[in-house]
Chain A
Amino acid sequence: EADIYQTPRYLVIGTGKKITLECSQTMGHDKMYWYQQDPGMELHLIHYSYGVNSTEKGDLSSESTVSRIRTEHFPLTLESARPSHTSQYLCASSAVGHRLTDTQYFGPGTRLTVL
């Protein structure tokens, strides 16, 4: 079982609210990621970080933002939630392995519903 945690596990909020999804890992991994996944669909990378003070946008256009002030913490913020943001959000971390392989450890996810 990986030591990566996400809170809350479930969140139901109204349109226009600002929300922050929390992700923490205790493995000392430099790389962290946020994915969005709808039921039966692919994971889409929305943000990633190579380390403290590093953040990059992923393949999927997102209205969210992230920050990486501490190695273990990688929160994701939605300034104004909309029904189109309803989805499962998965956080992951990895340590760059031998010959640059990237094996990811995932948290349990946050199921977000925006009404």
Chain B
Amino acid sequence: SQKIEQNSEALNIQEGKTATLTCNYTNYSPAYLQWYRQDPGRGPVFLLLIRENEKEKRKERLKVTFDTTLKQSLFHITASQPADSATYLCALASGGSYIPTFGRGTSLIVHP
């Protein structure tokens, strides 16, 4: 069956360091992958999209990599700040409906 795996343990890092979050998937042939941020009690907010034929995407302090051979995406936040503390969700979409399926998310806690 199709599965999206994100680390269920919270990631704790110090302010200023780079946070790296992982999204692994099985039994998908994704057309694209997205990362969203979700704060407690609120809906997710879109951050970045990367297509199957792209290796890397950047936006300000954010960087996403996509390795379809390893079936893995890495999400990096450089120079992290306490305001970056949130849950980060990855979402995959395959051909057909192209509706994304969301992972459970990983909680990031940035300590001052």
Q: Which residues of A contact B (CB under 8 A)?
A: 2, 33, 35, 40-43, 45, 48, 59, 90-92, 96, 99-109, 111
Chain A residues with CB under 8 Å of B99's CB are 33, 45, 48, 102
Chain A residues with CB under 8 Å of B43's CB are 90-92, 106-109
Contact A104 B100 (CB under 8 A): yes
> Which partner residue on chain A sits nearest B45 by CB separation?
A106
> Which partner residue on chain B sits nearest A59 by CB separation?
B101
Contact A102 B102 (CB under 8 A): no
Given contacts A40-B104, A42-B102, A42-B103, contact A102 B42 (CB under 8 A): no
Contact B49 A103 (CB under 8 A): yes
Contact A101 B32 (CB under 8 A): yes
Give the A-B contact count at a CB cut-off of 8 A: 56
Please report the C-alpha to C-alpha distance between residue A109 and residue B44 in the assembled complex, in whole angstroms.
Answer: 10
Contact A109 B42 (CB under 8 A): yes
The CB with the most chain A CB atoms within 10 A, among B8, B45, B100, is that of: B100
The CB with the most chain A CB atoms within 10 A, among B43, B89, B104, is that of: B43
Please report the C-alpha to C-alpha distance between residue A52 and residue B107 in the assembled complex, in whole angstroms.
Answer: 37
Contact A43 B41 (CB under 8 A): no
Chain B residues with CB under 8 Å of A90's CB are 43-44
> Which partner residue on chain B sits nearest A41 by CB separation?
B104
* New A-B pairs, 11, CB < 8 Å, besides A102-B98, A105-B46: A45-B99, A96-B98, A99-B51, A100-B98, A101-B31, A101-B93, A103-B49, A104-B44, A106-B42, A108-B41, A109-B41
